[in-house]
Structure 1
Amino acid sequence: MQVRLFKPIVRPEAITAVTEVMRSGWLGMGPRVAEFEQAFAAYLGVRQAVALNTCTSALHLALLLLNAPAGGEVITTPNTFVATNQAILWAGLKPVFADIDATTGNLDPKCVKASLSERTVAIMTMHFGGNPCDLEGLRDVAGKTPIIEDCAHACGASYLGKRIGASGNMCAFSFGATKNLTTGDGGMLIVPSEAQTGVARQMRYLGLSKDTFRRVSDSGGTRPHWEYEVENAGLRYHMNDLAGALGVEQLKHLDVDNARRGEIAALYRSRLQRVGGVKLLRETPESVSSHYLFCILVEERDALAAALMSRGIVVGVHYQPNKHYGLFDRVELPQAEEFYRRELSLPMHLGLTEEDVMSVCDAIEKGW
């Protein structure tokens, strides 16, 4: 028997909703995308949301909305999927890595403060594993420097009583294949400014003044539907109605699903906190995690990973510090290196039973 690391769950009503779109004759960006945007904004308690094809696209657009000078520096985390920091490069900006807090995997505000300079145009943070970062600490050191949140792991998480995404920062969400809310692939951008939200909507579809669905649906317009304005260059980053329909249905169950993830995490914690040599990541009382990942820290991580894999338990490592890649500057980040050396991600998904979790814990307790 194999215990998978991730396993997406798509309910029958979501399959029905996607099938209805396929039969509707309209597959591109249209009414289901708009419905998903409205539902997601309402869920977060914000005014507007912009649906996109990936979280990477959302991060890229957020950075472009800064209108920062080429070569400006973005202080960022090394402990993330490489998409976070590639978005900085694609925006013509320079990633500057700050070290992390090795007890959480999130950016350490003290290290961010030490990295600030007159060239800094933004701070890019992420909520590792779904556990919200120290946003208050980052605000204190940021001053007027904009903060962009990579919320790829944190859909449904909260910080100081507010949902992640409702902080007033620009925020990017992922609906990738393994995420708590999946549309197969997809993303959402939250922009506090209404004017900038409008710019993001145009930029996501090649700068067109109206997308195709709005043009063909607007029978009362003064211009034929094939005419539109393009004043600024844009990108092809929009979501389609297949993903939108799936997102609407998945969102209805997000809180229940995250609560179940929390139960699974509690099972892991109650058992593994008694196992010698295993350290659990710190969760703060002001935060509620989405539990996208469940991570432990151990010595001889690779040996344990091999032992678990040999028993049919699939594990992962999140992440190789991005400074290891040839794209980026190699800088000294001792906490990120220590975290990477010891971090192991255990199976975490809605398909896990209590028996599965206990089997994983038994295998860890037996040693390697």
Structure 2
Amino acid sequence: MIPVMRPWFGPEEQEAVAEVIASGWVAQGPRVAEFERGFAEAVQAGHGVAVSSCTTALHLCLVLAGVGPGDEVIVPSLSFIATANVVRHAGAEPVFADIDPATGNLTAKTIEAVLTPRTKAVILVHQAGVPADVDEVRAAHPGLVLVEDAACAAGSTYKGRPVGAGAGLAAWSFHPRKLLTAGEGGMITLMDGEVAARARRLREHGMSVSAADRHAKGVTTPEQYLEVGFNYRMTDLQAAVGIVQLGRLAEMVARRRALAARYHRLLADIPGLRMVADPEHGTTNYQSFWVALPEDFPMGRDDLLAFLATHGVSARRGIMAAHLEPAYAGKVNAELPATEWLTANSLILPLFHTMTEAEQDQVARALHAAAAG
């Protein structure tokens, strides 16, 4: 069975982890600090703050922005449910906005449709690595706190710069489905050094001096707990893997874009099939290669997934719509036609760094067979 995704690991990651184990310091420490510096430099941000997941990164972003009870935060329903959940974790209320069906992203117009006097922030997702139009949203809604959910976007570009470049608050994921993976983990990137220092305290229970700094500097003065914080730390084991993966990022993006271009050629003759592509304002890393089925396709999306499985192809349903899940039943503030159409009629095809042309041909043959009925 051809998988949807397979992480690209080599002996370098194994050696990096072994070095951390041999050092005796496996918790958050020097490797985490090194990973933070390298990742921030790669995305042209002032600071990086490594955390345990992208979910905790997003939550901390909202805490840093002062989002709390009584506030509303605009989010896309077309996103993994964590994007909405973190708003609840902050004590605020998520408000679902519709998306541009070509990119899967929020736009200034879809945000405008659900604005209320209680709106404090918007989480702008670069969905599946396709860059959202950040400048358009920022110009249209200058009074809103803008948090970029760049979970899938490492290696994507916006107007010639890395996604997240110069962002006030951006959150990243290193889950195994992402290009750059540490097994799990996340990162906040931001420009303000004082806010970054607070984020580092908050991720470690609000401690005034981190455990790693106390050990490295021989600090004997008891730490203080300056505010109520969280246990959102990344380990040096994860960071060691992330450092190696960061060095592979450019190669991974180039390979995925080449495979995506080949998909476009292989599937171009299926009438009405729409494939994810670069928007005018940037380039995608093709974290996921999703396709949207035409209305006259011979079988529905779920039947197609089963059909592909019988042909040795493991595909997945398209990006979920959070407002259709029981956790958010009755919480819709506006009509979401583009979201509901795309989540019902799209699927994600296999795409990974070590995918062979023979495997890609097998996927294409199966899709052509389905299109032929």
TM-score (norm 2): 0.94
The separation in 1 between residues aligned to 2:52 and 2:68, in whole angstroms, is: 26
Distance 1:260 1:20 in 2: 29
Q: For residue 172 of structure 1, report the CA deviation from its aligned partner.
A: 0.2
Could you tell me how far apart the structure 1 residues matched to 2:277 and 2:239 are? 35
How many residue pairs were aligned? 363
Asked if the contact 1:98/1:108 (under 8 Å) is kept, the reply is no
Question: Which residue in 1 is equivalent to 2:214?
Answer: 215
Q: 1:356 aligned to 2:359?
A: yes
Residues 123, 142 of structure 1: 8 Å contact kept? no
What residue in structure 1 maps to residue 165 of structure 2?
A: 166
Q: CA deviation at 1:62?
A: 0.2
Matched residues in 2 for 1:341 and 1:195: separation? Answer: 44
Paired residue secondary structure (1:253): helix
Residue 270 of structure 1: CA displacement?
1.2
SS in 1 for 2:270: coil
Which amino acid is the alignment partner of residue 287 of structure 1? G
**Partner residue of 2:105?**
106
- 1:330 — aligned with what? 332
Query: What is the match of residue 301 of structure 1?
Result: 301
Contact 2:96–2:332 under 8 Å retained in 1: no
SS of match in other structure, 2:55: helix
Pairing 1:252–2:251 present: no
Give the residue type in structure 1 aligned to 2:351. M
Deviation, 1:60, is: 0.1
Structure 1 runs (4+) deviating above 6 angstroms are: none
Counterparts of 2:26 and 2:193, CA distance in 1:
27
**Ranges in structure 1 where 5+ consecutive residues have no aligned partner:** none
Question: Which AA in structure 1 matches 2:313?
Answer: I
Distance in 2 (CA, whole Å) between partners of 1:240 and 1:351 is: 27
**What's the counterpart of residue 292 of structure 1?**
287
Q: Give the letter aligned to residue 262 of structure 1.
A: R
Aligned match of 2:71: 72
Question: Counterpart of 1:115 in 2: which secondary structure?
Answer: coil
Question: How many Å apart are 1:182 and its aligned residue?
Answer: 0.3
| Cα drift, residue 14 of structure 1 | 1.2
Q: Is the 8 A contact 2:257 2:286 kept in 1?
A: yes
Q: How many Å separate the matches in 2 of 1:58 and 1:340?
A: 25
Distance in 2 (CA, whole Å) between partners of 1:117 and 1:194 is 31
**Residue matched to 1:186:** 185
1:329-368 C-alpha deviation (Å, 9 max, x unpaired)? 1352111011111111000111211111111111101115
Q: Counterpart in 2 of 1:270?
A: 265
**1:12-161 alignment runs, 5 A limit:** 12-161=11-160
Following TM superposition, by how much is the alpha carbon of 1:268 offset from its aligned partner in structure 2, in angstroms? Answer: 0.4
Which residue is 1:241 aligned to?
Answer: 236
Indicate how the Cα distance of structure 1 residues 290 and 204 shifts in structure 2: closer, same or farther if over 3 A, else same.
Answer: same
Unaligned runs of 5+ in 2: none
State the Cα distance separating 1:69 from its structure 2 match: 4.2
C-alpha distance in 2 between matches for 1:339 and 1:48? 35
Structure 2 residue identity aligned to 1:236: N
TM-score by length of 1: 0.96
* Contact 1:76/1:96, CA 8 A, preserved across alignment: yes
1:330 and 1:365 map into 2 onto residues whose CA distance is 37
Shift of 1:166: 1.1
| Alignment deviations for residues 42-69 of structure 1 (CA, whole Å, 9 cap, x no partner) | 1112221000110000000000011134
TM-superposed CA distance for 1:258, in Å, is 0.7
Aligned mates of 2:276, 2:245 — CA distance in 1:
28
Aligned Cα root-mean-square deviation (Å): 1.3
Counterparts in 2 of 1:59 and 1:67: CA distance versus 1, 3 Å: same
SS in 2 for 1:198: helix
Check the 8 A contact 1:75/1:120 in 2, yes or no: yes
Does the aligned pair in 2 maintain the 1:112–1:141 contact within 8 Å? no
Deviations 1:244-278 (A, max 9, x none): 11111110010111100000100101121221241
Per-residue deviation, 1:282:
4.3
**Residue 310 (structure 1) aligned with residue 310 (structure 2):** yes
Q: Which residue of 1 aligns with 2:321?
A: 321
- Alignment pair present for 1:365 and 2:365: no
Conserved 8 A contact 2:150-2:172 = yes
Secondary structure of 1:183's aligned partner: coil
CA contact (8 A) 1:156 1:290 kept: yes
Q: Is the 8 A contact 1:151 1:174 kept in 2?
A: yes
The percent identity for this pair of structures is 34
State the one-letter code of the partner of 1:316: R
C-alpha distance 168-320 of structure 1, shift in aligned 2 (>3 A): closer
Is 2:2–2:314's contact at 8 Å kept on the other side of the alignment?
yes
Distance in 1 separating the partners of 2:23 and 2:217: 18
Residue matched to 1:340: 343
Q: Report the 3-state secondary structure (helix = DSSP H, G, I; strand = E; otherwise coil) of the residue aligned with 1:182.
A: coil
